Amino acid sequence: MASKGKRKQEKALKRRLRKKNNAIPVLDDLGSYFTEFLLRSVYLYSLRHGQESIPQVTARIKELVSEKRFDKLALLLGVDKMPREKAQILAYRAMAAQDPLRARQLMLKALELDLSNMDALMWQTRHDFETSQGDCAEILGRMQAIVDLGARIHGPQVNNMQGRLHEIPIARPYLRALNTLFTTLMDCKQGQEALAVGQQLLSLCPGDMFDIQNRVKALKDRLGMARTDAAEDDVERPVDAPPSGTLSSLDPERAVVLEEISELLKDFCQHRENTDFTALTLKAASLLCQDPSCPVHRGKRASWASGIVYALAQVNGMIGSSGQESFQPVLIHTHFKVSSSTTSKKSTQIKKFLQIGPDNPQWLLDS
């Protein structure tokens, strides 16, 4: 007959085995998604324990990673008890899997834990499309429903984090879903719809983590839009004045706004001896005031002026570089007397309205 101590040991062993069976498998097969898993988990950890907990938990993560104790990471971060996060880890493993059958098994397991897992839902829909288990209309309808689901889940972030949504790790599946929708629309030869989704992705993620800019440019070429854009860019305009559609063609309120913003821009640029940059900022101000959908008449004029300068200086490599005409962002904030966050938000908003980017030559200075 086993002793009392022996029976305790056996019970303890059974408990450990039960926990082991329910534990998240080792995480070293996540490949390129491992970093996102850590960012996502630390973000959720900070929501539960406060921002001040981040340095301590980050240091512990570094220790576990260096020791290759990946099975302890989920336990440390508390995601081992969260079905939604367990499902997301399975989705990461599926996306990193080389074997399609293995990937499908993992995605189905993810959906068993969380029916709203966007990576698993979109992967399954794309798989059905690639294996011809649905026509374009049916597949695109399913994909749009998944994207709409993500928009509902991340509604506040989508509205408040324009241009920075990719910084929220838990929102990246939503961005991936948009990217998959964009790709599938192109595969289904629905160019205009794909262009709209591509522009939406660029507004949410200017860092262009999916190489959307080049794909949108190629799509425009295919749709015959590039030639029209180029013809418009070739129109000669006076250097010291905004483009056509200036004060005389604006309603009185917007004409006053344009005049006030232009004066602020000229004041900032007058000491920089770069007439081309000055003309570029005035052109941007004029186009913003001409756009009926742009709320340029709301908010402080200085906020819009700072956003224009920052957006154009950034796209032309003038922010923080070592060039003769470069300057630090703090110079913009202090001159216009607005916060750095306000300047950044306005800059992102302006880039979206004017399509300011490295692939749009009308906003680039001659090197």
Residue 181, C-beta contacts closer than 8 angstroms, at least 6 positions apart? 140, 143, 144, 147, 197
* pLDDT tens for each residue of the chain, 367 residues long: 556 666 776 666 555 544 444 445 556 566 667 778 888 888 888 888 888 888 888 888 888 888 878 778 878 888 777 888 889 888 988 888 878 888 899 999 999 999 999 999 999 998 888 887 667 888 999 999 998 888 887 766 565 655 666 667 778 888 889 989 998 888 888 888 888 888 888 877 766 567 777 788 887 887 776 444 444 444 444 434 444 344 445 677 788 888 889 999 988 888 766 788 888 999 999 899 888 888 888 888 999 999 999 999 888 888 765 555 667 777 887 888 888 778 888 988 999 889 998 888 889 887 6
Residue 321: predicted pLDDT: 55
Q: What is the CATH number of domain 247-363?
A: 1.10.472.10
Residue 117: predicted pLDDT: 92
What is the residue extent of each domain of the chain? 23-114, 116-222, 247-363
Separation CA 97–CA 100 (nearest Å) = 7
Residue 306: predicted pLDDT: 92
What is 116-222's CATH topology?
1.25.40
Residue 6: predicted pLDDT: 64
pTM over 0.75: no
Residue 176, C-beta contacts closer than 8 angstroms, at least 6 positions apart? 118, 119, 122
Give 278-333 as a 3 state SS string.
HHHHHHHHHHHHHCCCCCCCCCCHHHHHHHHHHHHHHHCCCECCCCCCCECHHHHH
Residue 3, C-beta contacts closer than 8 angstroms, at least 6 positions apart? none
Separation CA 57–CA 75 (nearest Å) = 12
